[in-house]
Amino acid sequence: MGSPSNEALGPPPEGVTPNFDTGWTSVNMAALIVFSITFTLATITLAIRYFTSAFIVRKLELDVVLITLSWLITITHFACMVVAIPLGWGKHTWDIPLSNAVAFQRATIPLLATYMACPAITKLAILSVLNRISPSKRFHFATYFIAALIVIYTIVYMALLGGPCNPLRQGSDTCIAKGAISHVALNVATDIAIIVLPLPTLWRLQMPFRQKIAAGGILTLGSAVLVASIARAPTVVALTPKADFTYKLAQSSVWSILEMNLGIVCCNIMRMKPFADRYFPSLTAMIGLSVTGSSNQTAPQGSSSHPSRANEPSRGTQLQDMAKQPESYRGSSEAIFAGGSRSEQVTYVDNKGLDSPNRSTESILRLEERGSG
């Protein structure tokens, strides 16, 4: 029997000779390319989010803190992957010397842990944004319920990783494979829940249909992450102790990297409207996130001295309408995407946006919560 230094981690297929000097495989290169592209996008959008928070909204909000943590975990995940590659990550089991087994298993632990943590924290960041769009107690309950579910199952899987699914434990491959399948199912389920969550509230908003479509498109950007989660599922199902585990696990990680960074990008884009309003107002108008045209008209003689408020309904009328329909209020995309913490008072601006020096028509709606719970 050969020594661990010249014995392979797994038996090769018939006619295949083990090669311990394969270097970086195609899976390793795919992971590097996917990470480089998606992480660059995540970093650019995060930088814009920082700029918006510091100089436009001028407020540090919870989603900024959470998404920064996700971004740091993504870096950690990739660094752990680079460390694991020389040990066999992305190689066939028959191309890995048995002497690398313990070191490879040890390197797998932070890889799995960072993958579980990053999407969970990103989803919490997205939920913190969605939690601002409605005063309904039912909506808030649904948001908190989904957030609690994400936190609970992430903690459970972390505990399993440190216990029966610890790669250093004998026979843990089966536990890891089964745990990965159930984890991807929960990930897909919570992705769908987050996508569906804001749609009923958005539909009840009394805004132009084009604005609803544009706002809904941004609020459901998580569908891009959902696609990555679903695409990753077959590679996770293929994880079995007998099926070239080290190579299949790396294949799954390529989709994991895509899922992690796309989640960060989507969360940042959800809060990018104040930035776009200030520097690309024509873009927000073109895609329907701003209402233009009505605020620049000249007021009739004898009307209000403020031209942009000539046709604005009185605040009393607004409040009466709100009392009748507490969840079906006249809104705009500003009420959804503008900075600031959620409160009973929502300010929105038709035309240029909350943070534009050229803003014109401003309405303040008092959201009455009676009857909305």
Give exposure, 172-187, as e/b (b: 16+ Cβ within 10 Å): bbebbbebbeebbebb
Instruction: Return the pLDDT at 222.
Output: 63
- pLDDT, averaged per 10 consecutive residues of the chain (373 residues), comes to 68 86 90 97 97 92 95 97 94 91 92 95 93 88 97 97 90 85 92 89 75 72 77 81 81 93 92 87 71 40 42 41 40 48 37 39 33 38
Instruction: Return the pLDDT at 6.
Output: 72
Task: Give the residues across from 363 on adjacent strands.
Answer: 348
Instruction: Return the pLDDT at 304.
Output: 42
Instruction: Return the pLDDT at 75.
Output: 97
Neighbours of 59 (CB within 10 A): 12
DSSP H/E element including 300? none
Instruction: Return the pLDDT at 76.
Output: 97
Instruction: Return the pLDDT at 221.
Output: 67
CA distances from 180 to 165, 209, 253 (A): 10, 41, 12
Domains and CATH numbers, the chain: 26-277 (1.20.1070.10)
| φ, ψ of residue 365 in degrees (nearest 5) | -110, 135
Instruction: Return the pLDDT at 5.
Output: 56
